[in-house]
Each structure stands twice: as structure tokens, then as C-alpha cells.
A = this chain, B = another copy of it.
Amino acid sequence: MADIRRTLTLRDVSEASGVSEMTVSRVLRNSGDVSPATRAKVLAAAKTLGYVPNKIAGALASQRVNLVGVVVPSLSNMVFPEVLGAISSVLEDTGLQPVFGVTGYTPEKEERVVYEMLSWRPSGLILAGLEHDEAVRAMLASAGIPVVEIMDTDGPVIDSAVGISHTRAGRMMAEAIIAAGYRRIGFLGTRMTNDHRARKRFEGFSAALAEAGIAIEDQESYEGGSALAKGREMTAAILGRSPELDFLYYSNDMIGAGGLLYCLEQGIDIPGRMGLAGFNDVELLDGLPMRLATMDACRAEIGRQAAEIVAAKHPAGFIGGEVVTLTPRLQRGDTIR
């Protein structure tokens, strides 16, 4: 005879323990009053059988799902795992469970991921960025759950948002650079088609420079590959073309670190002859020969507050959204004089 595998149900536990399904359910959820005696019986039966409750049925019956969707563009970026960590640790003691989705920076995939997540009727959704297709905005707006957009606050918000102004972050860096006396400035970054936050930093950066009468003299951009290696290559390329530059602003710390290593190898005097800065304040910078100037993107704090907003809101009856704008902090490091 074939071993017909059926997964266990409440009914099995009920029969094994001689207690009604309803009471078994109560025991397993610690809900309502159950006498210690029956409680023990039920627990014993469930354990011996190896019963694992079916949350699908539970969720359908109770109309409650303890899931929070978290949608980010990438996991290889090093910055998102940190945000996810902060979200997880806050949700840990709320009974909510994060479920991650990755969009690969493409709007089409974002739409699919959001649709998929909403079809599981999560208690809330956290997603990176403010730029979404109309279809996504519509789904989210009518989902009837808290939606928190994270990382960025420069733009219209669907419900709630926690982040920094990347435009402002770019401006701040420009101001620090100008104040330090650098004047011939190069920019190195990703091709920014879908990295809106990098684009906003660039815009803020160049606007602030322009106000001081300074133009960005040269630029390099890359796509894919090892960011550290790309940082080296791009730096070699831009300095080959424009040796007069006295400052290089990188759109992230990894390429900045690559650039820093390159400059040090070339014997370029940092921060005297040339200054360097990145963005994100990644942990890696601690181990480099020299501390790269950067700006803290408040990643952990963003994750924490986003999770708190989702956890605090009640499934029904919430209305307004809050927008929390954190202030990025400049870390001068050793590469701005």
C-alpha cells in the first residue's frame, strides 16, 4: 500500500487527545481559557503527532495574516540587507513576519512582486523608493493596508514614508567640498536609469555646485560587475582624461573604495592634491587604508521606523500617513582636507 501522505489537521489532534477541535485550536493559539489539564493533553497529542497548524486555513478564517511584505531592488547591494535586518528585528517581537521580494530595479518586476504579495493579503507593505508605475500605486492605494515607502522622501508619497532627501544629501556633499576649497570636480556613478536615489543625489550635488558657479567637469558611469574593480577602472579613466580634477564624488562607497585604492597606489596625495567621497557609510570603509569621506544613509534607522509604522497601525481604520525625513550625516573621514 502506498503511504498516502496527508498533512495533519486539527481534527487529528482532536481525535488523538479526545478534545474538541475548537478547544485544540484555542490551546494552540493560547487564546481563551483552557484548563491546565486539557491544555497538557492537547499539547502532548500535537507534539507526538508532529502537528503543524495550517496558516492558510487560519488566515482565511480569521481574515488576519501576520505577514509584512518588504520589496527592495536588490540584495547584492549591501545596503538593503542592512535595512531588512533592522525591519526583521523590530517585527520579531510583534508577531509579524517579513516576506522579502526583489525587483532587480525593474518596474515590471516590481509590479509582479507587489501583485503577488498583495494576493497573500499581508498586514502591511514596505517598499523601497517613491517611483512606481501607476498600476503599482493604484494597487497599493486601494489595498487597505499600511504602505511605507522607504529610503527616499523627495516626492509624492502613497501612504507613509521614512527616508532621507537624496537631493539634500547631494547638496550637503557639494557644500562640504566647496567649503574645503576643492573646485575641479568629477562625478562617478551608476548609469542612473532606474536608480532614482543616485540620480537625485547627483541632481542635488550639481545644483549646489552650480549655485556656487562650479560645473562638474567630467563624469564616468558603469553598470554591473565588481563595484570595487569598476571604481578603480573608472578612476583611472577619468583621471587619464581630466588630470586637472581635484575632487571625485562617487555615487556609492564601493566604487569610492576602489577609487581610493587606485589613487593611493598611484601615490596621489589624498586629501591634499585630491579629495574623494562616496555615499552610504558601509561597514567596509572601516578596514580601508584611509577612511573615505561618505554620508550615512540612516539605513538601520529607516528600517526600524518603517517596521514600527507597519506594526503600530491597525488593520482597519487607519487613514493618514506619516512622512519621516531623517538627516544624513556627513562623515569627513580622511579624504576631504
Contacts and interface: CB of A to CB of B under 8 A. Distances in A.
A270 interface: no
Contacts of A65: 56
Contacts of A40: none
A88 B60 CA distance: 27
B284 A228 contact: yes
A275 interface: no
A52 B115 contact: yes
Nearest to A4: B316
Contacts of A181: none
Interface string A52-83: 11111101100001000000000110100110
Given A5-B316, A56-B60, A261-B287, 7 more contacts: A7-B143, A50-B138, A54-B121, A99-B100, A225-B286, A228-B286, A228-B288
A218 to B, nearest CB: 21
Contacts of A2: 317
A283 interface: yes
A82 B76 contact: yes
10 contacts: A50-B138, A52-B139, A55-B119, A56-B56, A56-B121, A226-B287, A228-B283, A228-B287, A258-B287, A261-B287
A84 interface: yes
What 10 pairs across the A-B complex have the smallest Cβ distances? A228-B287, A75-B81, A229-B287, A229-B286, A226-B286, A5-B144, A226-B283, A55-B119, A258-B287, A52-B118
Q: How many copies does the complex hold?
A: 2
A116 interface: yes
A318 to B, nearest CB: 10
A287 B232 contact: yes
Interface residues of A, number: 56
A122 B118 CA distance: 17
Interface string A1-30: 010010100000000000000000000000
A174 interface: no
Interface in A227-257: 227-232, 257
B284 A261 contact: no
Contact of A50 (B50, B121, B142): B142
Contact of A75 (B75, B116, B144, B316): B75
A105 interface: no
Contacts of A228: 283-284, 286-288
A2 B317 CA distance: 9
B100 A116 contact: no
A143 B8 CA distance: 9
A251 to B, nearest CB: 16
A97 interface: yes
A93 interface: no
Contact of A55 (B75, B82, B99, B120): B120
Contacts of A82: 76
Contacts of A81: 75-76, 81
Interface string A273-288: 0000000000110111
